[in-house]
Every structure is written in C-alpha cells, then in structure tokens.
Amino acid sequence: MTNPASPLASITLACPWLTIQFSRTMRVLSWAIDRPGLVEADRILWREVKNHDLPVDLDVRTWLQHEQDKNGFTNAVTMLTSRSITRYEIASAEVDEVSALCVATVGLSNAERIGVRVDHQDKDWGTINIAVLLSEGLTEAAMLEASSIATQARTAAICDAHYAIPTGLATGTGTDCIAIAAPIGDTCFAGLHTAIGEAIGKSVYDAIAKAVADWIMENDPANKGTKAVS
C-alpha cells in the first residue's frame, strides 16, 4: 500500500516494512540502529520485529543488513519497532512556506520517566520512532537544533497524555529514535522562534499525540495517571 502523503516523500506499507521514500536525496541525522549519525540517504525504513525475531545472542545489525539486502533496500536509514507498523501516524504542517512531514510509530510498553529507570528485563519492548522530513535546506547545526525541537514536541505530547508508570508520568521510552531529514542548505537556525521550528513542533506533536492516545486505548485504557508517583 502506497500513500503519497506529501511532495517530500511517498510512504509504502508492505509488512513488516514501512518505507518513507524521499522525493530527492536528503541528509538524515539520527541515532538509528542502521546508519546512525549524519548521512545522505534516499529513504527511511521501519522494520517491525517481535521477540522471536531477536534472540539474545543475535547480532542485530548483521541480521538487519541481511534483511535489507534480501529486499533490495539501499541507501536507507533504518529503525526497528515492535509496534505494528500498520498503526503508523502521519502529520504535516506548513508555516511561511516551510513544510514538515512527520511519520511516527508509538509503543509505551517500556515507557520511562526522565531521570529514573524501570527494570524492563524479560518484558516486552516498545518504542517511539519518529521521522521528520523538511522542505528547508539546513546546516548541520540547524539539523541538531531541529532534532531538539522534535524531541521537545515528542515529550510534550507524551506528558500531555498523562500516562502513568511506577516512577511518575512517562516522558518517553528507553528505546526512542528520532530521524531528521532535510536537504543540504544554509539555513542556520531551526528553533522555536522560527517557521521551521514551528512546523516541526506542530507535525511531531500532532502525530505523537494521536499515536499515544491510540496505544493507550488499545493497551491500557484504564491508565489515567492516577498511579503515578509524585
């Protein structure tokens, strides 16, 4: 199934893969399991995995490379998720002719609150994976700032959901990943005072807020924040 969601990219769902195919090569900044850091890429991939896919002694990077080669995927940045990729969310925003497209999947089974940790050994793993595509060409410094804005928007959306865990209200998960994709350019700033920052913030917040609400309704509908530790 292909969704031409934006002039920036087309989105194709072919389980267990979700492909965000760029309309042109972009630089991608991320800490993804495959091709992290600042790289040039033609697409961002999600690979859905279950516990049986990733035994304890598995070399995950080698396995993932084999899976990509088998499917003919090249020049990609790839993230893993245990969330059904059929539940991905899309949100977009345009501010002063700057466009931002956010694609996200959300699972909160290993949710955490910043500054403390919960023992998640022998439990299911969730994650929040976010890809943000921008129309504006950015410098490396601006891409770093864009990543900070996307992170802030993700956290705000989770906090506003009031999802309770034993250590307080969740602010993320232990395995979140954010990828920022943008053309090479000379725009130096992408903060909250800029059109770029506003577009990133709105698209990420909207996508995460919807995805978080859907996950809670499916998996923990009784959680209204009353079990949080203050």
pLDDT in tens, 72-129: 999 999 999 989 999 999 999 999 999 999 999 999 989 999 999 887 665 666 799 9
Question: What stretches in the chain show pLDDT beneath 50?
Answer: 4, 226-230
Q: How many CB atoms lie within 10 A of CB 156?
A: 16
* Dihedral in degrees, nearest 10, Cα atoms 25, 18, 103, 133: 0
pLDDT of residue 226: 47
Strands 111-112 and 76-81: unpaired
Which residues contact residue 144 at a Cβ distance below 8 angstroms, ignoring those fewer than 6 apart? 29
H-only helix segments in 132-185: 140-161
pLDDT of residue 111: 93
Place of tokens 């023992």: 119
pLDDT of residue 44: 98
Distance CA 215, CA 97 (A): 33
Place of tokens 């976010």: 130
Distance CA 223, CA 230 (A): 16
* Dihedral in degrees, nearest 10, Cα atoms 75, 33, 158, 6: 10
State the pTM of this model: 0.92
pLDDT of residue 83: 92
Measured CA angle at 221 (ends 214, 230), to 5 deg: 105
pLDDT of residue 229: 40
* 169 CB-side CA count, 13 A: 13
pLDDT of residue 99: 97
pLDDT of residue 230: 32
pLDDT of residue 1: 56
Which residues contact residue 66 at a Cβ distance below 8 angstroms, ignoring those fewer than 6 apart? none
Residue 82 is given by DSSP the state S
